[in-house]
Amino acid sequence: MIADAAVWAWVGFVAMAAGTVAPLWAWLSRDASGESHAKYYLTLAGVTGIAALAYLAMGLGVGVVSTPGGDLEIVRYVDWLLTTPLLLLYLGLLARPSRGVLAGLIGVDVVIIAAGIAASATTGTLSWALFGVGGVAYVALVYGLLVSLPRSASAAGDRVRAVFGTLRNITVVLWTLYPVVWALAPTGLGLVTPATEMLVFVYLDIVSKVGFVVVAVGGADALTYLTAGSAPDSAGPVAVGDADDTEQTTVLADD
């Protein structure tokens, strides 16, 4: 028998709280050795820290809004509205695209979440139309993650590209499953129960956030190449050689 949705919310809280420890510990440890990468680690800690607070609220039954589409756990969407841009920001810190490219990706991400909120709060044809809007926006986001950001990351060293590629792949694969769950849940076709929906969302959140953070912290040696301004293993020609590359490789650099 599947546990109550509140139980899975508490599981999510514990997992996210535990996931917040890793980047904070790594940051403080590097500070002690005189090698600080505060913005990288605080971005990662923000992802799981915000998610932990959201799951705490859901476990306490806070943040449920009654809508024509049924009860809406608005804190879940607030969580996604805050944490998914942070995940994109971290990928941007690794790839160092232009501000315009990064802002565009985050803007599309906000459209996806907003469409999800609107679709969950409505019913019938309107709900599915809004779901479709979010789906189209998601295709644009995936294109940016698979094409635009890798062009920027091409100037980085092999280690940076490897860490970026792993994190990007985690993001694309797992984020693609979220709309599938939405469509099967009571928000869509109603083929799964609210408890099952919460179970699957908690699982996806743990892997896509805590997993992302753990991999990022494990690949923290790549940050040394970024803060140094170049990587010793990237002496070969850059894949994309237009004039924008200079801006792309410096605009998000450390001071």
Which phi and psi angles does 253 have, rounded to 5°? Answer: -70, 160
Q: Are 146 and 172 in contact (CB under 8 A)?
A: yes
145 band by pLDDT with thresholds 50, 70 and 90: very high
pLDDT digits (tens, 9 = 90+) for 46-61: 999 999 999 999 999 9
CA distance 15 to 22: 12
Residue 245 has pLDDT above 90, yes or no: no
Residue 250 has pLDDT above 60, yes or no: no
User: Which amino acid, residue 77?
Assistant: Y
User: Which amino acid, residue 239?
Assistant: A
Strands 64-67 and 70-73 come out as antiparallel
CA distance 117 to 192: 19
Q: Are 182 and 197 in contact (CB under 8 A)?
A: no
Q: Which residues of 89-103 are buried (b: 16+ CB within 10 A; e: fewer)?
A: bbbbbbbbbbeebbe
CA distance 7 to 31: 37
> Across the strands, what pairs with 72?
65
pTM: predicted TM-score of the whole model, two decimal places: 0.86
Give residues with Cβ within 8 angstroms of 249, minimum separation 6: 96, 152, 155, 156
Q: Which of 97-101, 161-165, 249-253 has the lowest mean pLDDT?
A: 249-253
35: which 2 tokens? 């090698």
Domains annotated on the chain, with CATH: 5-229+241-250 (1.20.1070.10)
pLDDT digits (tens, 9 = 90+) for 173-213: 999 999 999 999 998 999 999 899 999 999 999 999 999 99
Residue 58: HSE in the Cβ half-sphere, 13 Å Cα cutoff: 32
